[in-house]
Amino acid sequence: MGGICGKPSAIGDARGSSTTRSKVSSESRSKRVESFRVKNRGEVRAGSIDRRLNSSRRVRDDDCDKSREVSQVFIANIPGIGAIPKSIEGQQIVAGWPSWLAAVASEAINGWLPRRADTFEKLEKIGQGTYSSVYKARDLTNNKLVALKRVRFDNMDTESVKFMAREIHILRMLDHPNIIKLEGLVTSCSSRSLYLVFEYMEHDLTGLASLPGVKFTEPQVKCYMQQLLSGLDYCHSHGVLHRDIKGSNLLIDNNGILKIADFGLANFFDSNHQNVALTSRVVTLWYRPPELLLGATHYGVAVDLWSTGCILGELYTGKPIMPGRTEVEQLHKIFKLCGSPSEDYWRKSKLRHSTVFRPTQSYRRRIEETYKDVPLVAIQLMETLLAIDPSQRGTALSALKSEFFTTKPHACDPSTLPKYHPSKEIDAKLREEEARRRIAEGGMGLRTDTESRGPRESWAVPAPEANAELVASMQRRHDRANSKSRSEYFNRNKDDTAAATFIEEQQARPSHYSNEVREFYSGSLMAENTADKHELDSSTYQMARKQLSQDSWRMRKHDLSRSMYRAESGRSTSTGKQPFMNGDGYKGNNKIHFSGPLGASNVDQMLKDRDHHIQEAARRARLDKARHAKLHSEMTINPIYVSSRRQPR
């Protein structure tokens, strides 16, 4: 994919060779296009691309072979995708699709021809997702700006390609003003990656909300919510769950139009019976509903509605409303705000993790009292969307008919919204990094989250670890031949983490339950070891300290704690000791904390202690570093001194 990734300086060099290539193959190309057009009953629409091919701004794609010359054509408005006979796969290869893609994703590309890389001019990177990078580019065929989402298939297992094929398949099916439009695909003959071509959107909601000084008005919030719910209603009525609704996946253009993007986790669902098992490892942690955290595998539209409720709260408050760092903490935040599930709910839902996650005390619902400044109609909608029982959340359509939209002030027209500077989640991250760098340069040392960032920016971007399980889950799907689609339909547990399966095993074997599950949860909530000697001597702690200087603060906290946990658990194993836990899963100020059953006081205390330990460890690391620096300067000045002095720990 040299063309897409090529630097502007390479553009001039590529001009001659591409032009020659274009002339040489023009005859065979038109024959093949014609043949493909006939075979697809005239669905192929040849673009007026040849003129553009002579453009001086064309980028290099030297690696692609001549068979790709046919590819400067695309199709619009593809009807539903049916079963693909084998002969179509052959035609697809003739039409320019790489055989590895046609073999696995024939349905997804059916009726389309690949775009070629040198019909785009790459401009800049605008997004970094879990398994993809997104670039702003210019489509040289029509001079329009586009977004190119590059998906790499490093180890090229067919399951990864099928996973991507589902995203393409779903995107092609959906056609709605509030859903991002997939305009084409670019393949590379040289590398096994694929570019998805989308219409270009200037903002995403996370980036916009984190712009300094931006505060949304009520008509504006209603305008965004109306568009989000309209897009969702369309998805749901077409049998598609998005399963990753969050600010950075809600794109907004300069005309105020909001479009739902990133269908990487989307899937079809059975709207009537919900009898098809789906994975519970979906939705970014902050936006994940309680039933998924509790291991539900039969669910429907309610998962997207929960995330929508989180977005609504975020639009009013300017920050994510439940930013948990781990699944346990996320559930605790949910219970504290939305109340704990009723007895009836626990009994009926039979959720896999309910035994271990069930709080020892019940929590009261506190949405209204928490958001006193939010208008009542918005609170009412939040109450519905953030119902603990998914069956109480209604539908996107019922939300659209709610008083929130019928009461004045009404949603404004998107075109009347203020125009903003382009802003993306990636920009918010960069601003955050810059702010941290400035603080570090100012000699203020390491700070906690809230100390080191502005109030608005501070919660704009999910912590890298906030979605660790989801990332790991997706990574597994890509790394191993263990696709979500396969596992969801044939074995609901395969796609879940070993840890989740582990809980089930433990539940089946009550005699081993406590110790093993405690260990699992100590990993989940993270265990802290505060023994100075152990921290300072262990090589893992040294590694963690090294990371302190490299990573973002949130990442630092996460890795530091995990390294310390690993060190601690390694020691426990070597001595053969099992960690000790008292009745409520919390063991005072020292050593290890376990999540165990949730109790309001113990979790709050645990989190407080954990932050305290992390700050302590960071402080000690700073002191240690200063000691090293001092000693180093002494050694440099006075070599004799060195030999007579013992090395520091």
Ligand X SMILES: Nc1ncnc2c1ncn2[C@@H]1O[C@H](COP(=O)(O)OP(=O)(O)OP(=O)(O)O)[C@@H](O)[C@H]1O
Out of 126, 165, 278, 321, the only residue in the binding site for ligand X (CB under 6 A) is 126
Question: Least distance (Å) from ligand X to the CB of residue 377?
Answer: 29
Task: Tell me the two tokens of residue 630.
Answer: 């001092």
Out of 249, 297, 330, 538, the only residue in the binding site for ligand X (CB under 6 A) is 249
Question: Least distance (Å) from ligand X to the CB of residue 81?
Answer: 21
Out of 131, 541, 553, 586, the only residue in the binding site for ligand X (CB under 6 A) is 131
Mask for 191-230, x = binds ligand X (CB under 6 A):
-------xxxx--x--------------------------
| Closer to ligand X by Cβ: residue 115 or 353 | 115
Cis before residue 79, ω within 30 degrees of 0? no
Question: Least distance (Å) from ligand X to the CB of residue 259?
Answer: 8
Question: Does 462 contact ligand X by CB under 6 A?
Answer: no
Question: Least distance (Å) from ligand X to the CB of residue 132?
Answer: 4
Task: Tell me the two tokens of residue 370.
Answer: 């928490």
Convert 185-212 to b/e letters by CB count within 10 Å (16 or more is b): bbbbbebbbbbbbbbbbbbbbbbbbbbe
Question: Does 311 contact ligand X by CB under 6 A?
Answer: no
Mask for 366-405, x = binds ligand X (CB under 6 A):
----------------------------------------
The reply, when asked if residue 86 is annotated as ligand binding, is: no
The amino acid occupying position 204 is D
Question: Least distance (Å) from ligand X to the CB of residue 126?
Answer: 5
Pick from 108, 101, 102: nearest CA to 82: 108
| Closer to ligand X by Cβ: residue 174 or 379 | 174
Question: Least distance (Å) from ligand X to the CB of residue 242?
Answer: 11
| Closer to ligand X by Cβ: residue 427 or 496 | 427
d(CA 340, CA 142): 55
- Binding range to ligand X, per CB under 6 A, among 52-60, 124-132, 388-396, 559-567: 124-132
Catalytic residues: 244
**Sites for ligand X among residues 398-437 (CB under 6 A):** 424-425
Out of 5, 10, 129, 486, the only residue in the binding site for ligand X (CB under 6 A) is 129
| Closer to ligand X by Cβ: residue 149 or 325 | 149
240-241 and 267-268 strand pairing: antiparallel
Q: Which residue is nearest to ligand X (CB)?
A: 129
Cα 71–Cα 12–Cα 122 angle in degrees, nearest 5 = 55
Question: Does 261 contact ligand X by CB under 6 A?
Answer: yes
Neighbours of 471 (CB within 10 A): 15
Question: Least distance (Å) from ligand X to the CB of residue 560?
Answer: 24
- Binding range to ligand X, per CB under 6 A, among 248-256, 388-396, 509-517, 609-617: 248-256
Neighbours of 543 (CB within 10 A): 15
| Closer to ligand X by Cβ: residue 227 or 506 | 227
Given a contact cutoff of 8 angstroms between Cβ atoms, the answer to whether 163 and 478 are in contact is yes
From residue 148, alpha-carbon distances to 78, 193, 252, 459, 573 in Å are 20, 12, 16, 27, 48
Per DSSP, the residues of 141-182 read TTTEEEEEEEEE-SS--HHHHHHHHHHHHHHHH---TTBPPE
Question: Does 244 contact ligand X by CB under 6 A?
Answer: yes
Cross-strand bridge partners of residue 147? 136, 198
Question: Does 478 contact ligand X by CB under 6 A?
Answer: no
d(CA 235, CA 180): 12
The amino acid occupying position 409 is P
Pick from 65, 54, 195: nearest CA to 134: 195
- Binding range to ligand X, per CB under 6 A, among 63-71, 129-137, 321-329, 561-569: 129-137
d(CA 537, CA 560): 14
Out of 55, 72, 110, 132, the only residue in the binding site for ligand X (CB under 6 A) is 132
- The alpha carbon of 27 is separated from its chain's Cα centroid by a whole number of angstroms, namely 45
d(CA 430, CA 434): 6
Mask for 170-189, x = binds ligand X (CB under 6 A):
----------x---------
Task: Tell me the two tokens of residue 472.
Answer: 């790991």
d(CA 25, CA 322): 57
**Sites for ligand X among residues 262-301 (CB under 6 A):** 262, 264
Place of tokens 């580019």: 137
Known binding positions for ATP: 149
User: What is the contact surface with ligand X in residues (CB under 6 A)?
Assistant: 126-127, 129-132, 134, 147, 149, 180, 198-201, 204, 244, 248-249, 251, 261-262, 264, 424-425
Annotated binding-site members: 149
